Amino acid sequence: MSGTNETMAESRSALNRRDFLTTAALVGAALPLGSMAWAATSQQAKETAMKTRKLGTLEISEIGAGAMSISANYGPPADVTQGIKTLLTAHDNGVTFFDTAEVYGPYTSEELVGEALAPIRHQVKIATKFGFAIDGTIGLNSRPEHVKQVAEASLKRLKTDRIDLFYQHRVDPNVPIEDVAGAVKDLIQEGKVLHFGLSEPSAKTIRRAHTVQAVTAVQTEYSMMERSPETNGVLAACEELGIGFVPWGPVGMGYLTGKMDGSTRLDPKTDLRTTFERFTPENLAANLPIVEFLMQYAERKGATPSQIALAWLLAQKPFIVPIPGTRNVDHLKENLGALRVDLTLADLAEITAALSNITIHGGRMNEMQMALVDAST
């Protein structure tokens, strides 16, 4: 695929709005967080600068920035100037890890990230993804030759000579994972890619890929209300193999911000969550107990629900780096306020006990979208 405007225009026209919303639902990334004020206080929160964590051998900030929502998927794209300001503000506040993908837009998210980060390219790490056909369908394509073509096009859009972390966006059942890992290994040997990642893989697929090319990071939905990585072997495999874990949807696709309830109505024309079971009016109401708990707990800690949700994720494993996404500088600062929330061992035990008594209603994505999540055993 070329990076020319003509080609991009043709590709965009091939995807009607509804098809692309469905595609975006498949690709997984953090949704914008709520608009609650950044409420952490000095008495109830620890003052701390951004620390670093490691995804495998890749050292990055302990919270990253997801760029999907800036360019598409949740209403019209943000103004380019606003998008650049948000990304640069993230960096000014210590964020060094930025997540995008060719399918976001498609292409426009990579272009925005490339333009915003070009002046500070050597100070940041950029992750992007391959694996969708982007041909008017929502099909997968991880054939080795396609992977290498995507890498070349992404390098141009990102205005860079290397991709720090290159994820397979969804496991392609038609291409052995060993072949995919081999293609990325070739790109690493050429210096075009530095690290290999997988998005929504099973533990079995992680282990198979890792034998060919070391997997640096795994990206999967993980939050207080979506805890499947704890029980499906994925987190355990990452810990065993020294692989980092990057949760998308770290605040429950926006639900854990405390800004939604049973009366919330999302726009089916612009909001992909309308196709998700958890965002039906019935389940928005049925899942309120977890929001009510978060709001009460956040008040005790002088924080917001979003900050508690992110701080909880950070406390689960030292190799976890969430990537909340937003186009709004105030929301960005709220997210980063999670670093000032001190969750003690007693806090974590209390939260675990509370969550164990809360039932989450509705699947995380619809049946068609879940079919693209690797479930091999």
Q: Which residue has the higher pLDDT, 377 or 8?
A: 377
Bin 94: left if φ > 0, else alpha if -120 < ψ < 50, else beta.
left
Of 17, 32, 15, 7, the closest CA to residue 324 belongs to 32
Q: Per the structure block, which two tokens stand in for 68? A: 């999907």
| Per-residue b or e along 282-305, where b marks 16 or more CB atoms closer than 10 Å to that residue's CB | ebbeebbebbebbbebbeebbbbb
Do 323 and 23 touch, CB atoms closer than 8 A?
Answer: no
Ranges assigned E (strand) in the chain: 52-55, 58-61, 65-66, 97-99, 125-130, 165-168, 196-199, 215-221, 244-248
Average pLDDT, the chain: 88
5-370: in CATH 3.20.20.100: yes
Whether residue 31 is predicted with pLDDT greater than 90 in this model: the reply is: no
Structure tokens at 64: 């990253």
The helix (run of H) or strand (run of E) holding residue 28 is none
Alpha-carbon span 272 to 258, nearest angstrom: 19
Checking if the pLDDT of 3 tops 50, the result is no
The pLDDT assigned to 243 comes to: 99
Q: Is 104 a catalytic residue?
A: yes
223, β-bridge pairs: 226
Domain ranges of the chain: 5-370
Considering 74, 104, 255, 297, which one is annotated as catalytic?
Answer: 104
Identity at 37, one-letter amino acid code: A
Euclidean distance between CA atoms 181 and 168, whole angstroms: 9
Tokens 């948000």 sit at which residue?
Answer: 86
Question: Does 127 have pLDDT greater than 80?
Answer: yes
73 falls in which pLDDT band (50, 70, 90)?
A: low
Residue-wise pLDDT tens digits, 216-260? 999 999 999 999 999 999 999 999 999 999 999 999 999 999 999
Cα–Cα distance, 59 to 52 (Å, whole number): 6
Higher pLDDT, 152 or 368: 152
Whether residue 175 is predicted with pLDDT greater than 60 in this model: the reply is yes
CA 67 to the chain's CA centroid: 9
